Amino acid sequence: MIAPAALQKTLETDGELESAYFTLEVAQMMDDQIWGQGFPPPVFCDTFEVQAQRIVGAKHTKLLLAKDGRRIEAIWFNSPGIPMAGARGNKIRAAYRLSVNEYNGLKSVQVNVEQAEPVT
């Protein structure tokens, strides 16, 4: 009895994040907060230029994105594959969470992609 459109998954975002906020301090502040049911962490949505991409761990996509002259590391866990196969320089619109990536004791800003689509 429910219309098929009512069963479609919807991803709500908090809009764009200014480039000035892609910092380790802001990402750490978001990671330090307590999020939970009814109070999820913010999900932002922006357009990025894809500078590099590769599959890691068989089902994740590692991306190097650019926005306003700033390069941003990104990971898309359980991605459906390369979002822009062979299309370096093309743009994607991505919904993401800002987070801290810690590897070998070094911390850096990372974008965790929730969903992405090519920009035409």
pTM of the model: 0.84
Residues 93/53, Cβ–Cβ less than 8 Å:
no
pLDDT of residue 37: 83
Q: pLDDT per position in the chain (120 positions), as tens?
A: 888 877 877 788 899 999 899 999 999 999 888 888 888 899 999 999 999 988 888 889 999 999 998 999 999 999 887 656 555 678 999 999 999 999 899 999 999 999 998 887
Q: What spatial distance separates the first Cα and last Cα of the chain, rounded to whole Å?
A: 36
Exposure of 78 in the CB half-sphere (CA atoms within 13 A) = 1
Structural domain spans, the chain: 11-118
Please state whether beta strands 91-103 and 106-118 pair in parallel, antiparallel, or not at all (unpaired). Answer: antiparallel
Per CATH, the architecture of 11-118 is what? Answer: Beta Barrel (2.40)
